Structure 1
Amino acid sequence: MTDSHTEDDLRTVADADPRTMWERMVAGEYYLSTDPAISAASLAARSACFRLSQTDPADTEAWDAQVRDLLGSVGTATEVWQGLRVDYGTNIHLGDDVFINVDATILDVCPVTLGDHCRIGPGAKFLTPLHPLENHELRASGWEYGAPITLGRNVWFGGGVTVCAGVTVGDNVVVGAGSVVTRDLPSDVLAVGTPAQVVREL
C-alpha cells in the first residue's frame, strides 16, 4: 500500500468497486472511516464495550454471553477480563483456552486472530489500522487502510505489549512486558524491546 493515490483516484476506484466500504476495510484496502455503515458499527461496538464494563464479572453467564456477542468468534474455555475496548469486535477471533487480562485494546479494522492457549497480559494493544504516511491531504480527508494481526498457538505476552498492523507471531512465542512488536516473529522464540527483537530460542 502506497501513498501515491489522490482522493479523486480513490473515489473513482470506490465508485467502480461493487464492494462496500466495510468489505474494502476488512480486506486491508483504502476505505473511508466516515462511511455511515462503518460509523454505525463502530458506535455499536463502543456501546457494547460500555455495557460490558457495567456488568459484574461474577455474573459469568452474562459476561460470557456479551463477549461472545461482541466478538467474531470465541473458542471454548476462553476468558476475557474487564476493560476490553474494540473498534468493531466482529473481526476478532479467539481460539480455545485463550486468556486476555484487563484493559486490552483491539482495533480490528482487519482481522485479529489469536490461536489456542494464548495468554495475553494486562494492557495489551492490537492495532490493525494504518493511515497514509506521506500523503497528508489523503490522511486528513479520512481515508485509511489496515493489515491483519495473527498470533499462533500458545503465545504469551507480558503486560503492556503492543502489536502493530500486519504482524504475524508464530507458535510458542513469549514477548516481554512493554515490548512493541512491529515485525513478524518466528515460532519458539523469546522477543523483547521496542521494536521487539528475538533474544533467544525457546
Structure 2
Amino acid sequence: MTVFNIDEEDNLNRMRRGDLYYAFTPKLVAARKRCRQAVTRLNAAEDPTRREMAEFWRQITNDDRPLPPPAATEDEEDNVLHEYPWIEAPIRIDYGTNIKVGSNVFINFNCTILDTCQVTIGSRTLIGPNVSFFSGTHPLDPELRNGTNGPELGGTITVGEDCWIAGNVTILPGITIGAGSTVGAGSVVTKDVPPYHVVAGNPAKIIRKLERNPNGKQ
C-alpha cells in the first residue's frame, strides 16, 4: 500500500489523535502549503497594525469568523482584538488549524509551531524568542520510519494560562505545562510541568514552586 492509496480523512484523524499517519499525502501537503502561504504573508508584512496582525492570524489558522468592527484608536483596537495573539514575525507553523490560543497572548520572533496534534496556549501567556512547539515526532525504528514514505505520529501540547515560556525553549509532544508556570531560557521540556512552578534545564527540572500571592508578589 502506498501513501496515496489510503483514506485521506482517516489519515487526517489519525494525525490529530497522535496515531501513526502519513504526512506526504496530497491532502496534508496541500494543507501545509496553504498555511505556509499565509505565514509568508505575515512574515513579509512591514510593521503591521494590530488589525492586520489579527487578520494574518485568522488566515493562518483558517478561522472563518470575521474580525470585530474597527475601534476608534489603535489602543482601543488592542482591547477589541484581545482574542488574537500579538506576534513578532517571523514565525513558522505547519498547519495552523490545530492551534488554539487564548486572549492577550504574546508570541515573540522565530517561534516554530509544528501543530501535527493540537497545540493550546492559554490566555495571558508570554512566548519568548526562538521557542519551538514540537507536537510531531517520528518512530524510532528506522525501517518503520522509512523517510518520506513512512508514518509519523505526535502528541498534544497544552500550555496553561498565565505562563511564561522564555527564549530558546523546546517543548516536546504530549507535554502539559500548568497554569502560572515559568520555563527558563534554553530548556527542553520532556515531562509535564505542574501549575505554578519554575522549571529549567535540558531536560527541564523543577527549580521551585511559586507561592500564589493575591498582591501579585512572589
TM over 0.5: yes
Which residue of the partner structure matches residue 189 of structure 1? 197
1:76 aligns with 2:66: no
Which residue of the partner structure matches residue 17 of structure 2? 27
Q: Report deviation, 1:142.
A: 2.4
Which residue of the partner structure matches residue 76 of structure 2? none
Aligned in 2, Cα 1:47/1:93: closer, same or farther, shift over 3 Å? same
| 1:34–1:142 Cα contact (<8 Å) kept | no
Which residue of the partner structure matches residue 43 of structure 1? 33
Cα distance in 1 between the residues matched to 2:62 and 2:178: 22
Cα distance in 1 between the residues matched to 2:169 and 2:8: 38
Task: List gaps (5 residues or longer) in structure 1.
Answer: 1-7
Q: Which has the larger radius of gyration?
A: 2
Aligned residues: CA RMSD: 2.1
Q: Report deviation, 1:18.
A: 8.7
| 2:163–2:182 Cα contact (<8 Å) kept | yes
More strand by share: 1
1:148 aligns with 2:138: no
| 2:164–2:183 Cα contact (<8 Å) kept | yes
Q: Report deviation, 1:58.
A: 3.3
Q: Report deviation, 1:60.
A: 3.0
Provide runs of 4+ in structure 1 moved above 4 Å.
72-75
Q: Report deviation, 1:71.
A: 2.0
Cα distance in 2 between the residues matched to 1:180 and 1:65: 32
Task: Report sequence identity in percent.
Answer: 37
Cα distance in 2 between the residues matched to 1:37 and 1:72: 15
Aligned residue among 130, 136, 145 for 2:137? 130
TM-score, length basis structure 2: 0.81
Which residue of the partner structure matches residue 5 of structure 1? none
Cα distance in 2 between the residues matched to 1:62 and 1:121: 22
Amino acid in the other structure paired with 1:151: V
Which residue of the partner structure matches residue 175 of structure 2? 167
Cα distance in 1 between the residues matched to 2:179 and 2:49: 33
Aligned in 2, Cα 1:190/1:124: closer, same or farther, shift over 3 Å? same
SS for the counterpart of 1:93 is strand
Residues 173-202 of structure 1: CA deviation (Å, up to 9, x unaligned): 011101010110001111000000001101
1:119 aligns with 2:109: no
Cα distance in 2 between the residues matched to 1:18 and 1:179: 36
TM-score, length basis structure 1: 0.87
Q: Report deviation, 1:56.
A: 1.9
Residues 100-129 of structure 1: CA deviation (Å, up to 9, x unaligned): 111100000000000111011011000011
